[in-house]
Amino acid sequence: MTQVAGTVLALVLGLTSPAAASSQDAESKAPVGDWVGTWSASASGTVPNLPTGYADRTIRNLVHTSVGGSAVRVSLTNVLGTVAVRMDAVTVAVADAPDAPDAVAGTMRELTFGGAPSVTIPAGGEVLSDPISLAVPEDADLLVSVYTPVSSGPVTYHQVANQTSYLSPNGDHAADQSGAAFTETITFWPYVSGVDVRGEAEGAVVTLGDSITDGNNSTRNANHRWPDYLADRLVDAPGPTRLGVLNAGISSNRLLNSSFNPNALSRLDRDVLTATGARSVVVLLGINDIGGQPQHREPSEIIAALGQIAAQVRAKGLRVTGGTLLPFGGSSNYTEELEGVRQAVNDFIRHGGAFDAVADFDVALRDPAAPKWLRAEYDSGDHLHPRDAGYRAMAAVVDLDKLDTRPPGHWVGTWQTAMARTTPGADQGMPNHSIRNVVHTSLGGDAARVRLSNALGTMPVLMGRVTLAVATRPDAPDAVAGTMRELTFGGAPSVTIPAGGEVLSDPISLAVPADGDLLVTVYTPAPSGPVTEHPRSYQTSFIATDGDHAADEQGIAFTQPTTAWYYATAVDVRAPSAYGTVVTFGDSITDGDKSTINGNRRWPDALADRLAAKPGRTKLGVVNSGISGNRILDSSTGTGIGGPNAFARLSRDMLTTSGACTVILLEGVNDILNLAHPDPETLKLALRQIAAQAHAQGLRIVVGTITPMKGWSSYTEERENVRQAVNGFIRTSDDFDAVVDFDAVVRDPHDPQRINPSYDSGDHLHPSDAGYQAMAEAIDLGVLR
């Protein structure tokens, strides 16, 4: 369907079958329950001078818990890797000491992934282990060991751990209780990104920040970062420890630029909004934007970015605390001009109304006699980072009573698209263009907000004006009179989206019709780098090439039609009677390939129509995260239409959708049709892993069987056998909440390897409008809530 980069290893996501793995002792598996994060680290880069990874070596990461529990599971990451990484053994154990690689006797546990003892993580993706019983102590240390047998490309890591971890020179030592084989020390965490526990804790607090949250200059191996001290406060509070603390700090991190590591907005979904059990977020960011290179001498962009983080956190139903920026007088980058920027940012944090609470770190640590400087007893010596005593003082000013969830406000997704590539031939963006995206709603409401994406861009993009209106019809750029609304972002009429990031508009009052059409128009005044797009919309949108026409009710200026959606990625509505959103996640068949253009005849559209036809108010929105050419395991190269692989886009396109309650997953046919020798066990385990990550976010998951493909150009009997094996697994697995048998619905009863001619669009792979309707009719509406 599209050319892709890289080679998938022979067995991705497992080297033994689930059946073989199922013979392990049942007592080692943990029961189902509520999970919270006890530790995390954010991916900050790849290990320098290590292009082929740790072949035939074992990594023993030492990590510190905040809350304890009776069971554990581990997240592993390859989000910044460029090829798949294979892990033949992964273990977790209680550490005997905070500065040694030895395990407490009897605590070593071998982890599995969908029942398999090994796992391969696609480039850009993460995986979550199966739960396993282990008495995890609070405020203690764990060993997470990973054996990587072969060369695997760049190693995703968290650079500044302030903690000693360990490497073996060769061989699989993951299950060694003794640390004797681990003769090399490192001060970073490779591959491991999170540890969850099942226990009495009610949720987790995520601390989002830079080197000060990362704990720079704190005592190594002592866990004296300010989030550690916050965890200690929660442990010391009367009663069971109610909240875990997760550290999403990255040294040198910024709001606006990805100079050294992914900027905060580009990693918000992955590091914050999908953190297990997250209830609250504490944000401390901006000092590197002020003092680092390039320096930002105008506070407005920093303020806007902080406001945007607060808006997205609150939209997820989480409480957000803003931390004031610490003094940096005497540091190498200090100037009086930059101090003025810091003061303006802190004034916004204290009084701007963006946050639910404020932690005034500035007041707590500044020198009363010289308030532009840190107090001497809190200064590590560089006049920027605190010492241990300063980090303790920071934790002391966080109001524990404000670390709780907030009402999400009855917001649900009514439309969504997944970004797949950058626009060919638009490397400088679309300067002085207005882009009018026509999008189709599933659910109506009395207010709306819009999400814009620069997820695949490499430079910031300025949106000079953004509007939303009801369309007069689905195939024209004209707005219904009186419905044009100018959108704002933190009260401002324009917004700059950092590379890799997304932004969410302020809510506006608008009577949004169900099963109707909206116009999302953006004006991009300046060159901005590659344009993030969804290339196959099966919908005509429009472009004006001569200036700002975003607020035009009449579409006269929009003379250039397009079949792509640019920048616009979601529309949410406030619908008090609705209880959630169904996310349809898949490839071209979910995207609606070969459906009638402007007809909204994709199967997710037909599903939305069925829900709307039920008596009473419509209770569920339906959004479409299909990408034509998408695969589970590989990503497209360059301007290929297939987009990031399923694992690389889960957080953005599935797990953080507004109001998401159920996912319908239909993926795998492109892997089968394009890999030289597709392996069914690989795809089974991949589907299991996607289901595990959806369940970890509290989502129900319905999986569709893969539809017939005989007659397509790359069809072979070998590939057909793989499809049949995967479909047999989908129909019988207990990993999913429900199954919809799309294959049985659309196949030809006389030649079951083919699509029924009455449902075939003509290419023998994609259904016609009638086929998409039949797919939607096959879904049991009762499983969607």
- pLDDT at residue number 460: 97
For residue range 79-101, list pLDDT tens digits in order. Answer: 999 999 999 999 999 999 999 99
Question: In whole angstroms, what is the distance from residue 491 CA to residue 207 CA?
Answer: 26
Task: Give the chain's mean pLDDT.
Answer: 94
616 band by pLDDT with thresholds 50, 70 and 90: confident
Beta bridge partners of 469: 519
pLDDT of 164 over the 70 cut: yes
- pLDDT at residue number 408: 65
pLDDT of 453 over the 90 cut: yes
For residue range 644-688, list pLDDT tens digits in order. Answer: 999 999 999 999 999 999 999 999 999 999 999 999 999 999 999
Question: In whole angstroms, what is the distance from residue 694 CA to residue 685 CA?
Answer: 14
**Mean pLDDT, to the nearest integer, of 522-536?**
96
- pLDDT at residue number 21: 35
pLDDT of 30 over the 60 cut: no
pLDDT of 3 over the 50 cut: no
Report phi then psi at 283, rounded to 5. -105, 125
Q: What percent of the chain has pLDDT over 90?
A: 92
pLDDT of 388 over the 50 cut: yes
CA dist 260 → 257, 356, 381, 564 (Å): 8, 30, 23, 32
9 band by pLDDT with thresholds 50, 70 and 90: very low
What's at 331, amino acid-wise? Answer: S
Grouping H, G, I as helix, E, B as strand and the rest as coil, residue 522 is: strand
22 band by pLDDT with thresholds 50, 70 and 90: very low
For residue range 549-576, list pLDDT tens digits in order. Answer: 999 999 999 999 999 999 999 999 999 8
Question: In whole angstroms, what is the distance from residue 358 CA to residue 347 CA?
Answer: 11
For residue range 730-745, list pLDDT tens digits in order. Answer: 999 999 999 999 999 9
Tokens of 194: 């999170």
Question: In whole angstroms, what is the distance from residue 437 CA to residue 503 CA?
Answer: 17
Yes or no: say if 400 and 203 are a contact pair by the CB < 8 Å rule: no
- pLDDT at residue number 615: 87
- pLDDT at residue number 618: 80
Report phi then psi at 32, rounded to 5. -70, 145
394 band by pLDDT with thresholds 50, 70 and 90: very high
Tokens of 559: 């003379």
Element (H, E) at 316: none
- pLDDT at residue number 694: 98
Tell me the helices (H) and strands (E) count for the chain, helix number first: 17, 46
User: Residue 412 CB: number of other CB atoms within 10 A?
Assistant: 27
636 band by pLDDT with thresholds 50, 70 and 90: confident
- pLDDT at residue number 1: 30
18 band by pLDDT with thresholds 50, 70 and 90: very low
- pLDDT at residue number 785: 79
Beta bridge partners of 57: 148
Beta bridge partners of 623: 583
pLDDT of 8 over the 50 cut: no
Question: In whole angstroms, what is the distance from residue 155 CA to residue 85 CA?
Answer: 8
For residue range 102-152, list pLDDT tens digits in order. Answer: 999 999 999 999 999 999 999 999 999 999 999 999 999 999 999 999 999
Grouping H, G, I as helix, E, B as strand and the rest as coil, residue 388 is: helix
**Mean pLDDT, to the nearest integer, of 452-481?**
97
pTM of the model: 0.94
- pLDDT at residue number 409: 73
